[in-house]
Structure 1
Amino acid sequence: MRPLARSVLPARPLLIQRAPNTARLQSTSSSSKDAATAALSPRWLSDLKTRVGKCINFGIDKEQVKEAGDILHYVNFNWKDLVAGSEGFLTGKHRWGLHRQQVAWGEMDSMGHVNNVTYNRWAESARVNWGMNFASMDTEHRDKWEALVTPKGIGMILRSIRTDYKFPIKYPDRVTVLHKLRSMPKADTDHFILDVVILSELHRRVAARCVEDIVIYDYKAGKKSSMEPFMVKMLVETFNLQEQAKTTYGNKALELIRRVQALEKSSWDRPDAKEDFGSAIP
């Protein structure tokens, strides 16, 4: 009987999508601490704005109006930092995978929302851009970074992807897609996990999350390989920046929550609170 052929890694770099290897993805744990916002509702930011609105509608003085305005202004201009940055995703323009990508009407299916396959395509495009961003930051090794998405030498191959859908995206909308390293790479690292968030610009929250298992592959040798030193250096720096972002924006998120709680305590949520219904007298 002819023996079964051994399975080999795909030849297409960084782009192939295989059936998820759930056991592998679950067994790779993060080496970083949980985000400060991990225990909050996925809608915590929109809920925060609603709570500020309740204070305003109840009736607040000039000082409280200024505080409410400052909170809403910060949230409106920094919502990506608060939602994604607080989890360790880097939100600067040199780190974007996709930024405000317009959702096409034709990407919706018969159910009236974007087809599930499209989310993986967004993640795929963003992942390639995530890798290419290093070429612009590490100009000394630009050619090597660009070669990672070709089958010429050392490359990065997508071994598996898992996607969790949070809510359906519909046209019109725009999406921003960000990647982050789950753990700090080492000199002998031959694969790593990327966490992905797909953000709806319309709803200003996470529409989907992906987990990608990436393999370092030597096309010339035809087998897995460890990361090259230039990769380890940049990815370690990136991981450290992720941890800094998680702390910075996690603390900022908790600070905003405390400020809203204080605003509530000084307006409608106090024993002697009386709602201001206005007056018909000019």
Structure 2
Amino acid sequence: MSVLKMRFVQRPIGLATRLYSTSPALPSRWFADLQTQLKELTTERYPKECTEKAQKLYAFSEQNWLELLAGQQGFLTEKKWRGIDNHQLLWGDMVSRQYGEVCIPPSRSNSISHLTGHVNNIMYNKYAETGRVKFIHNQSEDATEEEKSQWLDLPTPRGLGLILSSIKTEYKFPLEFPDRITVLYKLLESPTAESTLIKKEAWILSEKYRRLAAKCTEDTAIYDYRTAKKSVLKPFMVEKFQKTFKLQQEREKKYTEEADKLIKAVEELKSKFQ
């Protein structure tokens, strides 16, 4: 089902919308707020016409949550592009709170969840590191065998490589066991033949809450381990990264339009039935 096939009158909406590349970005909690509104519109206090349409829109938002939330920010959300896909968090990832001297076991975490801990902050950067390597390796798709070998070597010190020079992690909400996460990466700018840094952004998303848990902004230096000097990317790498950046822009435009249409569809239901 595509929301594009559902016709609704366009009206002003409480949730801010945007036009691609010109209007302000959507509020950070727009998706959670939208799903809350849709759940309300499916309750028995509303007529059948409203609840049926709201259920369809809610199903669409659930099936496409990653595209609507991250795709409209320029992230490539297809499985082959995901740095980490639907990864199960572990109890040991958390900083456990204690009740007296006794740590709370996972078997009791549901009954006394208010006493359990949250994922240790150092784990977020480890998730990002894993996603970063996968994002680089993903660039080798359709490469020749020789080029693929060089792509796979980039995260290593064997020749031309990448060194993380800076990372800023913004914590949006605490992850807790049990949950699953997906990590996505995107280029913040299109590299050129003269680039000595690659600027990227990572999102760590909670599958359980359909929310952004943390955002990492980072610079990665291009370094030649053989000469022990800063370097630049190989021409075929520059070309591939530029194609990836262009694809990001296309996805951002596509899913921004989808998100705006979904928001307007929900606003139409609210205007008609509330």
TM-score by length of structure 2 reads: 0.81
Aligned to 2:25: 38
* CA offset digits 1:63-108 (Å, max 9, x no partner): 3333212211110111000111010000011101001111000110
Give the Cα–Cα distance (whole angstroms) in 2 for the partners of residues 149 and 89 of structure 1. 21
Give the Cα–Cα distance (whole angstroms) in 2 for the partners of residues 155 and 147 of structure 1. 7
Give the Cα–Cα distance (whole angstroms) in 2 for the partners of residues 47 and 35 of structure 1. 23
Report if the CA contact (8 A) 1:37-1:86 is conserved. no
How large is the RMSD of aligned CA atoms in angstroms? 1.7
Matches within 5 A, 1:266-277: 266-268=272-274
Query: How far 1:266 sits from its partner (Å)?
Result: 1.0
Give the Cα–Cα distance (whole angstroms) in 2 for the partners of residues 77 and 162 of structure 1. 31
Query: How far 1:35 sits from its partner (Å)?
Result: 8.5
Report if the CA contact (8 A) 2:203-2:215 is conserved. yes
Aligned to 1:84: 70
Query: How far 1:150 sits from its partner (Å)?
Result: 2.1
Aligned to 1:64: 50
Query: Which residue identity lines up with residue 76 of structure 1 in the other structure?
Result: E
Aligned length: 235
Aligned to 1:148: 154
Is 1:126 the counterpart of 2:159? The answer is no
Matches within 5 A, 1:184-223: 184-223=190-229
Is 1:237 the counterpart of 2:243? The answer is yes
Report if the CA contact (8 A) 1:174-1:201 is conserved. yes
Structure exhibiting the larger radius of gyration computed from Cα positions: 1
Query: How far 1:34 sits from its partner (Å)?
Result: 5.0
Give the Cα–Cα distance (whole angstroms) in 1 for the partners of residues 24 and 91 of structure 2. 33
Give the Cα–Cα distance (whole angstroms) in 2 for the partners of residues 52 and 242 of structure 1. 29
Query: Which residue identity lines up with residue 267 of structure 1 in the other structure?
Result: F
Aligned in 2, Cα 1:261/1:167: closer, same or farther, shift over 3 Å?
A: same
Give the Cα–Cα distance (whole angstroms) in 1 for the partners of residues 24 and 179 of structure 2. 25
SS in 1 for 2:219: strand
Query: How far 1:49 sits from its partner (Å)?
Result: 1.6
Matches within 5 A, 1:92-131: 92-111=78-97, 112-131=117-136
Give the Cα–Cα distance (whole angstroms) in 1 for the partners of residues 214 and 259 of structure 2. 21
Report if the CA contact (8 A) 2:172-2:213 is conserved. yes
Could you tell me which runs of 5 or more consecutive residues in structure 2 were left unpaired when the two chains were aligned.
1-19, 98-116
Moved more, 109-118 or 62-71: 62-71
Query: Which residue identity lines up with residue 46 of structure 1 in the other structure?
Result: A
SS in 1 for 2:75: coil
Report if the CA contact (8 A) 2:90-2:177 is conserved. yes
Q: Which runs of 4+ in 1 moved over 6 A?
A: none
Query: Which residue identity lines up with residue 252 of structure 2 in the other structure?
Result: K
TM-score by length of structure 1 reads: 0.79
Could you tell me which runs of 5 or more consecutive residues in structure 1 were left unpaired when the two chains were aligned.
1-32, 269-282
Is 1:163 the counterpart of 2:166? The answer is no
